[in-house]
Amino acid sequence: MTSTLQPRKDGSSNLATGDRPVSQRFRFDLNTLPTIAALVIFIGMIAYGEIAYGRILQANTISNLLINNAYLIVLAVGLTFVILTGGIDLSVGAIIAFSSVSGVMLANAGWDPYLVMVLMVLMGTAFGAVSGVLVQYFNVQPFIATLAMMFLGRGLASMLSTVPERLSDESPIRALATPIKIIDGEKVNDLVVTPGVMLAALVVLGGFFVLHRTRLGRTVYAIGGSEQSASLMGLPVPRTKLAIYIISGTLAGVAGVIYTARLGSAQNITGIGWELDAIAATVIGGTLLTGGAGFVLGSVVGALVLGLMNVLITRDGGIRPETTTIITGGILLVFVILQRFVIRQQR
């Protein structure tokens, strides 16, 4: 009965010992399946759009997709951290409302616009810190803690103003939305990015680095696997849980800056339901709501799937915009079922 020491599945896996080729560093295991599925759907949507409507797979469409969804990508990265630990953050949409309304008002009051941008981000940090403290030190359920912060943020934004607050066109904040041509194509078919998009890309890279190349990131995955195990392994669980809500809040602040720069105005009703869009993007991108499995890059794909869906619906013209939510729901449902399947396979 030497078999007890060997992997349970079958004898063959013993052959693969020790040094494996570098090519196998990207393991194809069940954890990556939902993310791959999201990627497949994204590519499928592009292909369908190209065939049915044309002019999808071209520089300006892709540019607009990125520019219009940069804020959502940033939010989804933040949510990925939170959801990986098995938590949730419902406050991000309200944080955007509060930080953008107050930011615009401060800028219009003559504050230094660069300072204002930093402040907008720090407001998100503050909200996240409060959520994190509630969750970690007062043992409040993440759902409830961040729900409270959501109402608080929305309420504060409404107290500041209930009408759109416009940013002057010359404000340096708007510079974040200045188009920069990368490739000058025919007519308007240019590949364009904005500093906002570049910021979002930095956030994605940073998120990837933190999750996969730092101990903080590994602790995030460990907490998602089993919080109790993580703390018995001597990992800094309280500090990490606090950190992820701070990260999520901060990134909501960043998303607020990016969105405000693009729109040029802010309103207290901005961002209603965006927390749910970001959660949807994260889940579609393959992150398990129970935590422990998922990728930042998957969440990016998830955000782009949602963005592309809007583009396709607009292009079609025949589909009523109201059906967007129904389609989002449908896609989400498919992915959640897919995840169930994956979890069942793992047991």
The footprint of another protein (CB under 8 A) covers 1, 3-11, 13-14, 16-18, 20, 24-25, 27, 29, 31, 209, 212-215, 218-219, 221-222, 224-226, 228-236, 292-293, 346
Query: What's the rounded Cα separation, in Å, for the pair 92 and 248?
Result: 8
When the beta carbons of 256 and 294 are compared against another protein, the nearer one is 294
**How near is the Cβ of 33 to another protein at its closest, in Å?**
13
**How near is the Cβ of 291 to another protein at its closest, in Å?**
8
What DSSP character marks residue 288?
Answer: -
When the beta carbons of 224 and 256 are compared against another protein, the nearer one is 224
**How near is the Cβ of 8 to another protein at its closest, in Å?**
5
When the beta carbons of 237 and 278 are compared against another protein, the nearer one is 237
Residue 84 in contact with residue 211, Cβ under 8 Å?
yes
**How near is the Cβ of 76 to another protein at its closest, in Å?**
20
Query: What's the rounded Cα separation, in Å, for the pair 285 and 332?
Result: 10
Q: For strand 165-166 and strand 265-266, is the pairing parallel, antiparallel, or unpaired?
A: antiparallel
Q: Angle at Cα 173 formed by Cα 172 and Cα 179, nearest 5°?
A: 85
When the beta carbons of 64 and 228 are compared against another protein, the nearer one is 228
DSSP strand E in 200-327: where? 265-266
Query: What's the rounded Cα separation, in Å, for the pair 88 and 10?
Result: 38
Rg (CA), the chain: 21
Q: Angle at Cα 279 formed by Cα 327 and Cα 158, nearest 5°?
A: 100
**How near is the Cβ of 277 to another protein at its closest, in Å?**
26
Residue 101 in contact with residue 161, Cβ under 8 Å?
yes
When the beta carbons of 181 and 215 are compared against another protein, the nearer one is 215
When the beta carbons of 131 and 219 are compared against another protein, the nearer one is 219
When the beta carbons of 181 and 212 are compared against another protein, the nearer one is 212
**Residue 99 CB-density burial (10 A; 0-12 exposed, 13-18 middle, 19+ buried):** buried
**How near is the Cβ of 53 to another protein at its closest, in Å?**
40
What φ, ψ does residue 182 adopt, rounded to 5°?
A: -95, -55
Give the 3-state secondary structure of residue 191. strand
Bridge partners (DSSP) of residue 81 are none
**How near is the Cβ of 226 to another protein at its closest, in Å?**
6
